[in-house]
Amino acid sequence: MKTHKIIFAFFTMCTAIVIISACSTKDLELVNPTQLSPETFFRTEAQVQSSVNAAYVNLQTIGLFTRAYFFMFDLMGGDAGGNPQLEADKRQYLEFSFDANHGNMGDYWESCYRGINKANFVLGNAESINAAPISQAKKDKFFGEAKFLRALYNFLLVTRWGDIPLITDIPTTTDGIAKSPKAAVYDLIISDLQSASTTLLDKGVEANGRATKQAAIALLGKVYLYQEKYDLALAEFNKLNGQFSLEPDFYDNFMDETEHGVESIFEIEYDETLGANALWNSSVSGAGANESTLRGQEYGFNDWFNTYPANDLLAEYETGDTRFEDTFYVAGDFFGGTGGRAVLAADLTVPGAVRAAGWKKYQNYYKRLNENINSSINFKYIRYADVLLMMAECENKRPGGSQNAAIGYINQVRQRPSVMLPALPLGLAAPAVFDAIVHERRVELAGEQARFSDLVRWGLAATELAGQGYQSKHALWPIPRRELDSNDALTPEDQNPGY
């Protein structure tokens, strides 16, 4: 059950934080001397905690995990197809027809930068926080959370835009901020995660939903992997040995009541009982109560059914792979919990077609017949199966790596108790092992927004996504028009190639 969840409410002194639309500083607010300011605010642990909480809330925006994120990556990665009712701006992901004016891409960009600025607000007021009557260990934990979140937001940005404005402190002028090379962005991400991994609390001690030492280590390993620094990545992942295991039942990763289990490393938190009345007002700010994700309603075959599992994804599963029945509903499956019923072909019918399956992963149909706007099921941003498959990739790709070790990591994922597929044989050549990794990541992480980034970094996107209209320019997204218009340090020449 959900316990000790964090209420990532936007804290009351938000007018004192420098929040910029993205990187432009044209709209800086002056501090009202009759209200709290950074100089007068950081006096108690509760006040510092509230400023840290504010840096989490931008994960819970329409521009990120509450809505746009899953559409973007599932459609662009080819895991999902679009039913006729899919909104036009979502269809642009599927068809790679977006441009710099795309609203949700701008929201994604702005949500991340607002999160960065909230993290910088904490880190930039270190002197005031260090003067507060709080234990040093607690102060270090707060700084670690801010650094983890700044690293995560920067990682979400740099992997999609490459060179980006790099903001490392609270802006003090109204000048815009120019792009920095992606290498510099990665350097800051790595530095932040290295520091955070030494000051954050362990998963078994920290409250559910907060960044932990293990989350920082896992994300650092992922960052190294994306830079093809395989030895460094593997060294980080090895630090997690013995601290996590696979859920015996694969589906326990995707239910409300079984969150933060033995496989979970970092989750994006949702709990509708804490309020969701500001859900549609939170495209970028995170202000108000938005403790709900729309994924259940959007993907639900018995509800809006805006996307369906792609046919080639369904075909990727081996005969006997029980992850298929834990990821999808097909006609004849039971759903709805007590008082439920069988899925009918009519439930999967849309104008002009009958879909072969609907989504089960992250849906609430295991306990109710219909979704509603609100869903409390957390997003697993990093879980241990993902780490094991990244470890396999490191061994497969690094000079002198062990292909048998890589096969061993793959087999751990294939042979969790609820899956128990035949083990891959030892002695496979590196190309065959890589093919096995590509396959295993797709079926294990289906609908978890992994495949698009995987295909891009592997250099396979042009081949695998050609039927959707993918071109080489789509490895990077267009810098939002609103950013180019508002940031004086950017010009049209700064736009990513092809846009």
What per-residue confidence (pLDDT) applies to 31?
46
What per-residue confidence (pLDDT) applies to 497?
97
Q: To the nearest 10°, the Cα dihedral for 398, 399, 404, 407?
A: 20
Instruction: List b or e across 102-126, with b for residues whose CB sees 16 or more CB atoms inside 10 angstroms.
Output: bebbbbbbbbbbbbbbbbbbbbbbe
Tokens of 69: 């994120």
What per-residue confidence (pLDDT) applies to 32?
52
d(CA 167, CA 145): 17
The CA–CA distances, whole Å, from 325 to 59, 263, 322, 338 equal: 29, 20, 5, 19
Sequence-separated (6 or more) residues with CB below 8 Å from residue 486: 21, 22, 24, 26, 176
CA angle 111, 262, 379 (to 5 degrees): 25
What per-residue confidence (pLDDT) applies to 332?
98
Could you tell me which of 118, 146, 149 has the C-alpha nearest to residue 54? 118
What per-residue confidence (pLDDT) applies to 297?
97
Q: To the nearest 10°, the Cα dihedral for 379, 385, 391, 395?
A: -130
The radius of gyration of the chain's CA atoms, rounded to the nearest angstrom, is 22
Residue with tokens 């042009």: 462
3-class DSSP assignment, residue 70: helix
Identify the segments of the chain with pLDDT beneath 50.
Answer: 1-31, 33
Sequence-separated (6 or more) residues with CB below 8 Å from residue 121: 17, 18, 38, 51, 54, 55, 170
d(CA 384, CA 85): 35
Q: To the nearest 10°, the Cα dihedral for 54, 55, 59, 60?
A: 0
**Separation of CA 334 from chain center:** 30
Half-sphere exposure of 415 (CA within 13 A, CB side): 9
Cα end-to-end span (Å), the chain: 46
What per-residue confidence (pLDDT) applies to 24?
38
d(CA 74, CA 218): 22
Tokens of 431: 């190309």
- DSSP letter for each residue of 112-162: HHHHHHHHHHHHTTHHHHHHSSS-HHHHHHHHHHHHHHHHHHHHHHHHHHS
Evaluate whether 154 touches 185 at the Cβ level (below 8 Å). Answer: yes
Could you tell me which of 1, 3, 5 has the C-alpha nearest to residue 292? 5
